[in-house]
Amino acid sequence: MDFKQAYNQPNYLNFLSEKFNFSKTLTPITINNTEVKTFKSLGYITTADDKQLPVFEIHIKPNTKLSRNRAGLRNLVAKQIPPEDGALAVYVDGENKQWRFSFIAIEYKFTEDGLEKQQTASKRFTYLLGENAQIRTAKQRFETLNKTSTLADLKAAFAVEQLNKDFYKQLYDWYNHAKEKVIFPNDENAKSHIEDSLIRFLTRILFVWFLKEKHLINKDLFDLTKLKNLIKYEEDSSFYKAILQNLFFATLNRQIKDRSFRRTTNGKPNNTNYLAANIYRYQNYFQNNDEQEIMDLFKQTPFLNGGLFECLDREATDEEKSAYDQDKTVRKIGSAIRIDGLSDRKNNALDFDNALFFNTNETGLCDLFKQYQFTVEDALTDAGLQASHAEVTMEPATRVELNLVNAEKFMKLIERLEDLDDTQEVYHNADISDEVMAQL
């Protein structure tokens, strides 16, 4: 079945019959909902361990968006599920162009009131299919299933936890490969500068990808076909330099009204903006090198204050300049310490091959990201919640419980840190009980 095609019921029924032990019983279901056009039971599948899962088809009205009403639409199905172990459902938009497949797992737990039936969000996953959908993950998941699959197999195939494992394994493989290929400037002579630089880069690019998915970054910048019309893609490191560095440092790290290009003389960069870390560079990497045309590619992106996208290149200290005067091999330029490598200069050591982002084997970083659809809002929507405020913060993976003596020392340290002019936020993993806090 071609998951990129518009929804077609006969094709879907054939797919169910070929993939599962499917029994067809087309039955309309009457419901009272203003967003739903038709609601049908298509039949049920029987797993290898004799679990029967009903299969539903829901056509929604044209003014209802699949991407915005998942929790409500899922709850419609949940009300139709008898006390079995779950259901399969397809939600089809008004024009049949996009459709959403969902596996809804039902589990039970004992409470004070007895046995309670629950929809378990962590055991249910949803795929958006049809036109313009990224279908690779859905296709891979369905390929793991067949007529001998058990209910546990279905849960494993569609579990969010398994998808997370798959994603981070692929990301880790990419990281290990990139370590052998990427060159970042190392003017501080740090022992682990490649590893540190790559981890910092991944933190930035993951945040950028979230913003792109929320339409806050121009999607053409990550579409290889369109990208080749925007930049000189055959130039080494052109994607990282012209697109990502300009996005990180000149766009996200600067107020919209203040954004500008590096000054030039006779078409060549001059020293007016030397070491300025929040202006656009790499003009010659673009197919159209008009400054305003280039800046327009980034105009929909907001300014983000917080330090994540602050370029770490800086002017060398007097001590570092003196060390360079004594030994010219410590770095390429005496007056600058390059870490991120934001520079038009030909002696820029930065090397980040375009193939690490896009390649024919689809093992590039952007290739990987395109296989998954992930946003913070999705998780909230799945839980039936709507965010009224959002912010980025640091949450500890583990906490350390402090007694009274250590808590007193710790609080004094926090106060000193917060008094520093350069401190914006202080994060910690201390766990201080209410009893200890009352004694402080």
Interval 246-261: pLDDT, tens: 999 999 999 999 999 9
Q: How much is the pLDDT for 396?
A: 55
The span from the CA of 11 to the CA of 17, in Å, is 10
pLDDT at 438: 74
Are 138 and 129 in contact by the 8 Å Cβ rule? The answer is: yes
**Structure tokens belonging to residue 160:** 């969010």
- Say if residue 45's pLDDT is above 90: yes
Other CB atoms within 10 A of residue 222 CB: 20
Question: How far is the C-alpha of 45 from the C-alpha of 16, rounded, in Å?
Answer: 8
Judged on CB neighbours under 10 Å (0-12, 13-18, 19+), 300 is middle
Say yes or no to pLDDT of 383 above 50. Answer: no
Amino acid at 250: A
Q: Which residues contact 177 (CB under 8 A, 6 or more apart)?
A: 356, 363
Q: What is the pLDDT of residue 30?
A: 84
pLDDT score of 386 = 45
Residue 314 pairs with which residues in a beta bridge? Answer: 337
Helix (H, G, I), strand (E, B) or coil at 317: coil
Is the distance from CB of 252 to CB of 304 less than 8 angstroms?
Answer: yes
The residue-averaged pLDDT of 408-436 equals: 70
- How far is the C-alpha of 402 from the C-alpha of 379, rounded, in Å? 33
Query: What would the pLDDT profile of 97-148 be if each residue is shown by its tens digit?
Result: 788 888 887 654 445 554 444 544 433 467 888 887 778 778 888 999 999 9
Does the pLDDT at position 161 exceed 90?
no
**163 touches 27 (CB < 8 A):** no
* Non-local CB neighbours of 418 within 8 Å, separated by 6+ positions: 426
- Report whether 47 contacts 55 (CB < 8 A): no
d(Cα 196, Cα 203) in Å, to the nearest integer? Answer: 11
Residue 356: the pLDDT is 97
Q: What is the pLDDT of residue 426?
A: 67
Least Cα distance to 2 among 131, 118, 164 occurs for 131
The Cα–Cα gap between 219 and 211 comes to 10
Q: Tell me, what's the pLDDT at 391?
A: 46
pLDDT recorded at residue 292: 94
Band the pLDDT of 340: cuts 50, 70, 90: very high
Question: What is the pLDDT at residue 122?
Answer: 34
Looking at residue 120, its pLDDT comes to 46
- Number of residues that make up the chain: 440
Report the SS3 class of residue 129.
strand
**Quick one: the chain helix, strand, coil %, rounded to 5?**
40, 20, 45
Question: What pTM does this model have?
Answer: 0.62
Cα separation, 154 vs 53, whole angstroms: 11
pLDDT, the chain, mean: 81
Please give the average per-residue pLDDT across 48-66, as a whole number. Answer: 84
